[in-house]
A and B are shown apart, each in its own frame.
Chain A
Amino acid sequence: MIEIENLRKTYHMGTVEVKALDGVDLEIEKGEFLGIMGPSGSGKTTLLHMLGLLDLPTSGKIIIDGMDISLLTDYEKTMFRLYKLGYVFQDYALVPDLTVMENVSLPAMLRKDRTEDQYRNDTNDILQKIGLYDRRDHLPRELSGGQQQRVSLARAMVNKPDILFADEPCANLDTENSRIVLDLFREINESVHQTIVMVSHEDWHKDYFHRIVRLRDGKIVSDGINGSKAS
């Protein structure tokens, strides 16, 4: 599904060079729930942004579904993100002036292959699934952090993406809410065989991952099937 070859990203801060990614090779299978872990500054977000077409690598190759994404134009990348990828951000990143319903349906409304009925149904279905259907007309600021993050997950899932990316989705949540959100990710992964790539540095999150890639200083230091994985 995803192949990464010798991926490098170097930031220049004045005269200082920061190698955020320093030669990463990785393959991700369809249906995998992959955790990217590692200390702060190890390059987790950078890797996720490369995979999610949000930033350009300095060198190396990313191939998603057989497509070398460096060949895409700006507009094609936007459409690729809209049709094939879903994102959940650390700080929910909902549009504050849109209701829950409007936030979730926004990406679906833009798709040429969805009629109005379809995207309304999709939105309602996903809101039912995350248990916030009865809050659909509320604004994000009227919801708790955990609820907002569930809405953000619903927005990422409404277009049924090939790959779901999440960058520390529970960083702003307490343990209980983190569990609710992570359980949702797991449920989605199991029920529709959803490929998920999630960044985390909370050790207990690893229970949820099939496979864990650990980064340090922009390099992969370990990559393995999660033996201690629950269930």
Chain B
Amino acid sequence: MGKKELKVAFLLALRSLQRGGRSSVILTILIVGMCFTNMIFLPAMFNGIGQSITKQVVDYEVGNVLVSPQSGDQYVTDLGATLDLINGMPGVDRATPHYSKGATLKYRQRVLGVSVRAISPNDEKYVSPLYTKMIGGSYLGDGDTGEVIIGKPVAGDASIRQEDEFQPSLGGVRVGDSITIEYGNGYTKDYRVKGIYYTGWSQADSTVYVTWTDMEQVEGKPLDFADYITVKAKPGYSEKFIKDELQQYGVSQKVQTTSDLLSKSLGRALQSFAIINTVSLIVSIIITTVVLFIVITIKTLNSRKQIGILKAIGVDKEVIMHNYGFQVIILAVLGIILGIIIASMLAVYMAYHPIVTPEWSATLYITPMDLVINSLILFVAAIIAGYVPAWQVSREDIQTAMRA
């Protein structure tokens, strides 16, 4: 197979696509493009959901590394020293403690059970973007007392009647209002609502936050312990690095990375996603293969006589085979390009219009690697689908072909 033969095969392929049956060419490209989109879309969707859940867990729950009590213990003790130790380690951006207490909120007629979480507002800024999510009023300051920030679902909406509410709320609290918090230990205090936030992560949105100082008043003693400590890594430092470092340099608590935590809870969901992904991948490959196989088979059957003539005038069977091979390659490449364009447009669209659920929000997550791998898979399937009938028809003897 020399260069001249390939050139002739390519010319025949190109002309056949350009001048024979425009609509079938366009439809074939469309189908390949759609199959490609289908191969990309579901996995990207699930990836997007996974990524978004991970990001929200990092942002609002555990940071990059979570330091929690050893099993058997209730709290991370010796808090001040532990925080100093962690904050001093290379790669640690900031460590900040959380301490939560069950409580009942009261506002006018409404009563709502929530978890009140004490934070160190300034340190928390390094770990969580909560402070950027204020939709009314402002974020807590370190020295604040008697002030609380609450999530939008907790604040509620005065225009919605209580029985119509999606989830129970305080029925329309506004910034500056006073609410009463009655803690589990009986301590009761009125707080001014300093701000209302909305993160989209339901766990965070149904919590209310007070300062560490305030919580010390609730407990009636300095809080040198916490439920856990969340640790944010500096850019360029892996979670694993921080975890190993903490364990090595004497943090005697339980240390887990976000991935450690998520692999347990998300693991099962990801497994079901993987099954759905595989099914959608196989279906797409089969559709593409079958469609291209049919298209090329019909083409070859319709041109048997012409193939006979070409062979009669001295065109080698390899040229004839590659003619159809090139046709399928061109169709597949154009289809894949179309698919990449569609998938990219979907990704852009969804970046602006994410899927929002009460629990989380998600966009398409497509990496260049996904595009490359799926292109290759589809390309190989297309080549097989095209070359099988091309090979068969190119082997037919001249007499039989010319009589067709």
Contact = CB atoms under 8 A, between A and B. Distances in A.
Contact of B12 (A78, A95, A111, A139): A95
Interface in A52-108: 52, 54-55, 75, 78-79, 81-83, 85-87, 89, 93, 95-98, 102, 106-107
A54 B398 contact: yes
A28 interface: no
B319 A110 contact: yes
Contacts, number: 74
B55 to A, nearest CB: 54
B222 interface: no
A110 B306 contact: no
Q: Name the interface size band of chain A.
A: 20 to 34
B8 A109 contact: yes
B310 interface: yes
A110 B311 contact: no
Contact of B314 (A55, A96, A110): A110
Nearest to B16: A97
B315 interface: yes
A54 B312 CA distance: 6
Contacts of B18: 97
B306 A95 contact: yes
B221 interface: no
Nearest to A88: B313
A97 B15 contact: yes
Interface string A145-159: 000000000011001
Contact of B312 (A52, A106, A111): A52
Contacts of A52: 312
A106 B15 contact: no
A107 B398 CA distance: 17
A110 B5 contact: yes
A49 interface: yes
Interface in B130-160: none
A78 B310 CA distance: 10
Nearest to B21: A97
Given A52-B312, A79-B314, A97-B15, A109 B306 contact: no
Interface string B1-41: 01011011001100110111000000000000000000000
Contact of B313 (A75, A107, A139): A107
Contact of B309 (A79, A89, A111, A139): A89
A53 to B, nearest CB: 9
B315 A110 contact: yes
Q: Name the interface size band of chain B.
A: 20 to 34
A112 interface: yes
B260 interface: no
B34 to A, nearest CB: 27
B16 A106 contact: no
A52 to B, nearest CB: 7
Contacts of A155: 313
Nearest to B7: A109
A151 B4 CA distance: 22
A54 B19 contact: no
Contacts of B305: 93
Identify the interface centre among B7, B12, B313, B402: most chain A CB within 10 Å of its CB: B313
Interface in B62-108: none
B316 interface: yes
B2 A112 contact: yes
Contacts of B311: 78
Given A49-B399, A106-B315, A109-B8, A97 B20 contact: yes
Given A97-B15, A139-B19, A83 B399 contact: no
Given A98-B15, A139-B19, A81 B314 contact: yes
B318 to A, nearest CB: 9
B399 A93 contact: no
B41 to A, nearest CB: 36
18 contacts: A49-B399, A54-B312, A55-B398, A78-B316, A78-B317, A81-B312, A81-B314, A86-B313, A87-B313, A89-B309, A95-B12, A95-B15, A97-B15, A97-B20, A110-B314, A110-B316, A112-B2, A155-B313
Interface of B: 2, 4-5, 7-8, 11-12, 15-16, 18-20, 305-306, 309-317, 319, 398-399, 402
Given A78-B317, A95-B15, 11 more contacts: A79-B314, A82-B313, A82-B315, A89-B309, A95-B306, A96-B19, A97-B15, A97-B16, A102-B15, A110-B315, A110-B319
**Nearest 4 CB-CB pairs, A to B?**
A82-B314, A81-B314, A97-B19, A93-B309
